Amino acid sequence: MSARPSNRILVTGATGQIGSELIFELSKKYGEQNVIAAGHSRAPSEKMLSVVIFETLDVSDKDAVSKIAAKYDIDTIYHLAGVLSAAGEKNPALAWQVNMDGLRNVLEVAREQNVARMFWASSIAAFGANAPRVNTPQETSLIPTTVYGISKVAGELLCNYYSTRYGLDIRSLRYPGIISSETLPGGGTTDYAVEIFYEAIKKKKYTCFVRKDTVLPMLYMPDCMMATLKLMDADPSQIKIRTSYNLGGLAFTAEELANEIKKYVPEFVCEYKPDFRQKIADSWPMSLDDTPARKDWGWKPAFDLPAMTKDMFEKLSERLGYL
Ligand code: AKB
């Protein structure tokens, strides 16, 4: 296998936080007619419908995945559909069905239809509290406590299996929390780092669902896009890890983020009322060692906390009308 992709691209989870931005990057790069956006739980935006082809797709239905891949002669798949950590704890059966059955279906279709290259989103949730929490290494114990995390560990191993057993060119990143201004995340533990911007601009106050000293790894969307496209563009010989690469970027406390936002919204007040998501946050890394990603395919994030906050504020305040 491993033919060079000619780029008929399917993006699952296209209406989600990452997918809804990735489809525009891909359509700029490969042409609008070559990107098939597939989503299920959220309606596509007008903007999305005007740019790419949209298909309703539940990835836990293998026949449906197979039909869409065949219909458009797909040779590259970005598989982003999934139920996130907090939502997964509310409905573990659904998380298993979407995350595990969905991944297996997409891998099978990729194998059966000779897809040339595939991306799958893993997460920092693959780690559990017994792994070192600061500068968490690429290779360490993976004993997560959430069903989402379990699906990520099993998924990483399944990707590695399809790569070694069938020669599928599958690539993956352990995404940290992604901060973005276009589409809100939904059902994640890191969602506070996005919600806080919207609430600061709209209401000048926010009740944060983790403690103020909580540190989680985060990444700004432009860096997330750059990492994903760079990984997928790399020559197969550069990809040494077929489970999933650690991807580091930002690491700050919830209070440090609130203080940074206060530079733009001086009246902003942030309160902290931890809920069940605190326990999940406490079981995840605070920062990641991403040396293999840097060495193998040249990963280097551009945004630090002040630069990310400035850009987020500028984009959101224009859209939400900051008064
Ligand atoms: C979540 O919080 O569940 C996600 C993730 C870190 O994978 N954002």
Contact (Cβ atoms closer than 8 angstroms) between residue 165 and residue 61: no
Ligand 1 contacts CB of residue 125 (under 6 A): yes
Choose among 293, 303, 284: nearest CA to 215.
Answer: 284
Catalytic annotation present for 148: yes
Q: Which segments within the chain are labelled E, that is strand? A: 9-12, 35-39, 53-56, 76-79, 117-123, 170-175, 177-179, 205-208, 215-220, 245-246, 250-253, 269-272
Name, in order, each residue with C-beta under 8 angstroms of 190's C-beta and a sequence gap of 6 or more: 176, 177, 178, 216, 218
Domain with CATH 3.90.25 in the chain: 178-218+249-286+302-320
Q: Which atom of ligand 1 is nearest to the CA of 84?
A: 3
* Spacing, Cα 188 to ligand 1 middle (Å): 5
By 3-state DSSP, what share of the chain in percent is helix, strand and coil, each rounded to 5? 45, 15, 40
For residue 6, give the DSSP letter. -
Q: Which atom of ligand 1 is nearest to the CA of 185?
A: 8
What is the full per-residue pLDDT of the chain (323 aa) written as tens digits?
445 566 899 999 999 999 999 999 999 999 989 999 999 989 999 999 999 999 999 999 999 999 999 999 999 999 999 999 999 999 999 999 999 999 999 999 999 999 999 999 999 999 999 999 999 999 999 999 999 999 999 999 999 999 999 999 999 999 999 999 999 989 999 999 999 999 999 999 999 999 999 999 999 999 999 999 999 999 999 999 999 999 999 999 999 999 999 999 999 999 999 999 999 999 999 999 999 999 999 999 999 999 999 999 999 999 888 76
* Spacing, Cα 81 to ligand 1 middle (Å): 13
* Spacing, Cα 174 to ligand 1 middle (Å): 10
* Spacing, Cα 84 to ligand 1 middle (Å): 6
Probe target for ligand 1 pocket from 17, 153, 183, 191, with the most ligand atoms within 8 Å of CB: 191
* Spacing, Cα 4 to ligand 1 middle (Å): 31
Helix (H, G, I), strand (E, B) or coil at 251: strand
pTM over 0.75: yes
Residues 320, 194, 277, CA angle at the centre, nearest 5°?
A: 140
CATH 3.90.25 fits 178-218+249-286+302-320, yes or no: yes
Q: Which of 72, 78, 148, 162 is catalytic?
A: 148
* Torsion, Cα of 8, 10, 14, 19 (10° steps): -70
Ligand 1 contacts CB of residue 175 (under 6 A): yes
Probe target for ligand 1 pocket from 17, 85, 145, 151, with the most ligand atoms within 8 Å of CB: 85
Ligand 1 contacts CB of residue 16 (under 6 A): no
Domain with CATH 3.40.50.720 in the chain: 9-176+220-246
CATH 1.10.10.10 fits 9-176+220-246, yes or no: no
211 burial via Cβ count (<10 Å: 0-12, 13-18, 19+): middle
